[in-house]
Structure 1
Amino acid sequence: MFEDLKAQKPDGILMLMQMYREDARDDKVDLGVGVYKDAAGHTPVMRAIKAAEQKVWETQDSKSYVGLAGAPDFNDAMVKLVLGDALPRDAVNSVATPGGTGAVRQAFELFKMANPGGRVFVSNPTWPNHLSILDYLALETVLYRYFDDTTRGVDFDSLIEDLKQARKGDLVLLHGCCHNPTGANLTGPQWDEVIKVLQDTGATPMIDIAYQGFGDGLEVDAAATRKVAAAVPECLIAASCSKNFGIYRERTGILMMVANGTDKGIAQGTLNFLNRQNYSFPPDHGARLVTTILNDDALRADWMAELEEMRIGMLTLRETLAKELEQRSGSNRFGFIAQHRGMFSRLGASPELVVKMREESGIYMVGDSRMNIAGLNAQTVPVLADAIVKAGV
């Protein structure tokens, strides 16, 4: 039967990684893969993670399964981190998942189970895996306008116009902060308008928050998610620990479900059921590290301090790159880079210019011109600025 299998569409980012590895140039710059890197180009293990691993090693006395929903103390700690005091704890159902991607997948599975004929509104552009999973699950997808290619900011009027076409039973996917791939984010007043549209249409929001702490700080980055969750009767939230705890390979995430008017036992039982059908019990090592940090005052303080260092480092790189480009181009048309937040910015270059920068200058970025700001350092910022101006972006 396997002879009828068809080749799958290759993942563009994985292909880019392979091309980068095969490039023999010493001065090449990797801005493609979405992982944080320090000034030496290394993705470090955070200090608090190392300390938590030691603590877990010394105290953990079993490797037996955790529950279908994951360890309760992990769920409690993560709900508190993301939602703060926006909602009572017993108003939020949750399950641990293998990474933020696992949370996204389970959310889409839940939506399909609840409303098989519903539509999912997705920003244009969005993280490619959103669309890939939706396509695999055969869920109808509606793109809503988001990015203004001229200003490199949010095309907010068009966004609102498109979201008004949603209706009760539809799911609206939103990025909680640090929009991937553009880096362009909604302002507080704009979030208020989006909430009004959700209330008017009855559509259910789903928030993907994968970069809390990478934009304007842990609390500020969570503000929109908290505001949305408190303002609507139903909401899904997919959160990741990969970036802000630096535990990419541990695959640690959580799916939260707010379902006012739904029997809590049924809501939580459905989440547990979906976990059981997919991977049974979620992984615990990364979750145990996160829980250890969040429930230990000293470890939490050190984690927050290092996360803030990472955030400030990325902001400094943004500001430096914007200034270098202004000096070389003689204009401030690249000022948006300093205004974007998170790991990514969408440069606004055509696919042809992206190829040109790669071939002529060894600059590797995704074909839509998404670049990972965290892949830069003080030495490579001028190299990138030269390549951008040389290519005629």
Structure 2
Amino acid sequence: MFSNLKEQPADKILALMQMYKDDPRETKIDLGVGVYKDASGNTPVMRAVKAAERRLVEEQESKAYVGLLGDPAFSDGMIDLILGDAVGRANIAAAATPGGTGAVRQAFEMIRLANPDARVFVSDPTWPNHLSILKYLGMEAVPYRYFDGETRGVNFGGMIEDLGGLRAGDVVLLHGCCHNPTGANLNLTQWQEVIDVLNAKGAIPMIDIAYQGFGDGLQADAAATRLVAGSVPECLIAASCSKNFGVYRERTGLLMAIGQDSGLRAVTQGTLAFLNRQNYSFPPDHGARVVTMILQDEALRADWAAELEDVRNSMLGLRSDLAGELQRLSGSDRFGFLAQHRGMFSRLGAAPELVEKLRVEHGIYMVGDSRLNIAGLNAKTIPILAKAIIDVGI
């Protein structure tokens, strides 16, 4: 049997991480891996997470299974955080998942189960794992224009034109905030226009929201998702706690299925439970339990929100400083988009050969499509990166 297996393509980001580890240069800079780093290059455990874990160790009396859908209190807390009062709770089915990736996978599984002919429209570019999972499941992915390589903003006209090819029952995958890999986001007026197209075509939005709180704040980052959820007959939302709670390795996520027909909630909830059972049975609980404790405790929640705001402002500062240094060195404002983008990532719009030149000549590691992790920078490395960008001719 094993002799029939074929070697699978290596994950480009994981391969980049290994290349970085093997590079002996002391001046090397890692801008590839998608995790938040502080000024010391560490990914710290948030204060509220540490406090909740200490309490959990003292109070938890069992490690027995929680349930196929996870702890309902976790679902309730995350629904409140992401949707507020945009949608009535009776219209929302939800299931805990192993991270945001697990939520994305289960959402695709539900789409395939409900409508095997559905096409999934994805932004060009998008997070590579979206495309990888769709391909593995044998689902058709249709790209729609999104990133403008000239302005480094959103090609909104191209996006709307491509969404004009939707058929009833198709799904459109959208990034709730802090678009990965570009950092370029729609404004609320544009979101409303997308909603109008979806409703006119009978298409279903699926929102991947992995960075709430990293862009313009917890409420502002949720505004588009809330607008969509309250404006369409049905939608799916895949949410991650990895970034905004810093619980990457605990694999903490949630999938929500929202419909205006509350009579369908029971069968939808049952389908989510069925899909969990087929895939991994019971979702992990530790991270979800910690997140729930933080969201339910007024003091922990306030401390978490304050630390998250510090993280957000730090990244905004790094963006501004990098854009400013590049303006000083280049004598132009062509890198001003870096200060306008939001989240951990920006896409420089540089050709792969220039990205490779950055790695070979300057020890600067970023994904081949020129996505860089802003959180991988600090005051010392910003001038180094800026000079390297100018030197290679970006």
Q: CA deviation at 1:260?
A: 2.9
Amino acid in structure 2 at the alignment position of 1:119: R
Amino acid in structure 2 at the alignment position of 1:19: M
Amino acid in structure 2 at the alignment position of 1:158: G
Q: Secondary structure at the match of 1:167?
A: coil
Q: CA deviation at 1:70?
A: 0.4
Q: CA deviation at 1:259?
A: 2.4
Which deviations, in whole Å up to 9, do the C-alpha atoms of 1:234-255 show, x marking residues without a partner?
0000000000000000000000
Residues 1:332 and 2:333 aligned together:
yes
Q: Secondary structure at the match of 1:154?
A: coil
For 1:265 and 1:85, the matched residues in 2 are separated by: 21
For 1:386 and 1:191, the matched residues in 2 are separated by: 37
TM-score norm. by structure 1 comes to 0.99
Counterpart residue number, 2:154: 154
For 2:310 and 2:284, the matched residues in 1 are separated by: 29
Q: CA deviation at 1:263?
A: 2.1
Q: CA deviation at 1:315?
A: 0.2
Residues 1:297 and 2:298 aligned together:
yes
Residues 1:57 and 2:41 aligned together:
no
Q: CA deviation at 1:129?
A: 0.1
8 Å contact 1:94–1:268 — kept in the other structure?
A: yes
Which deviations, in whole Å up to 9, do the C-alpha atoms of 1:207-245 show, x marking residues without a partner?
000000000000000000000000001000000000000
Counterpart residue number, 2:109: 109
Which deviations, in whole Å up to 9, do the C-alpha atoms of 1:137-169 show, x marking residues without a partner?
000110000000000000000000011111211
Alignment of 1:10-29 (within 5 A): 10-29=10-29
Q: CA RMSD in A?
A: 0.6
Residues 1:259 and 2:259 aligned together:
yes
Q: CA deviation at 1:36?
A: 0.1
Amino acid in structure 2 at the alignment position of 1:110: M
For 1:374 and 1:158, the matched residues in 2 are separated by: 30
For 2:358 and 2:25, the matched residues in 1 are separated by: 14
Counterpart residue number, 2:95: 95
Q: Secondary structure at the match of 1:148?
A: coil
Counterpart residue number, 2:142: 142
Structure 1 runs of 4+ aligned residues shifted over 3 Å read none
Q: Secondary structure at the match of 1:269?
A: helix
Amino acid in structure 2 at the alignment position of 1:40: S
For 1:117 and 1:199, the matched residues in 2 are separated by: 19
Q: Secondary structure at the match of 2:230?
A: helix
For 1:263 and 1:232, the matched residues in 2 are separated by: 15
Amino acid in structure 1 at the alignment position of 2:189: P
TM-score norm. by structure 2 comes to 0.99
Counterpart residue number, 2:380: 379
Calculate percent identity across the aligned residue pairs.
69
8 Å contact 1:120–1:170 — kept in the other structure?
A: yes
For 2:265 and 2:224, the matched residues in 1 are separated by: 25
Counterpart residue number, 1:268: 269
8 Å contact 1:259–1:267 — kept in the other structure?
A: no
Amino acid in structure 1 at the alignment position of 2:129: N
Amino acid in structure 2 at the alignment position of 1:284: D
For 2:53 and 2:176, the matched residues in 1 are separated by: 29
For 2:82 and 2:110, the matched residues in 1 are separated by: 20
Residues 1:86 and 2:86 aligned together:
yes
Which deviations, in whole Å up to 9, do the C-alpha atoms of 1:96-122 show, x marking residues without a partner?
000000000000000000000110000
Which deviations, in whole Å up to 9, do the C-alpha atoms of 1:15-67 show, x marking residues without a partner?
10000000000000000000000000000000000000011111111100011
For 1:264 and 1:14, the matched residues in 2 are separated by: 39
Counterpart residue number, 2:313: 312
Residues 1:66 and 2:49 aligned together:
no
Counterpart residue number, 1:195: 195
Q: Secondary structure at the match of 1:153?
A: coil
Q: Structure 2 stretches of 5 or more lacking a match?
A: none
Which deviations, in whole Å up to 9, do the C-alpha atoms of 1:306-351 show, x marking residues without a partner?
0000000000000000000000001000000000000000001100
Q: Structure 1 stretches of 5 or more lacking a match?
A: none
Counterpart residue number, 2:348: 347
Alignment of 1:167-178 (within 5 A): 167-178=167-178
For 2:47 and 2:18, the matched residues in 1 are separated by: 30
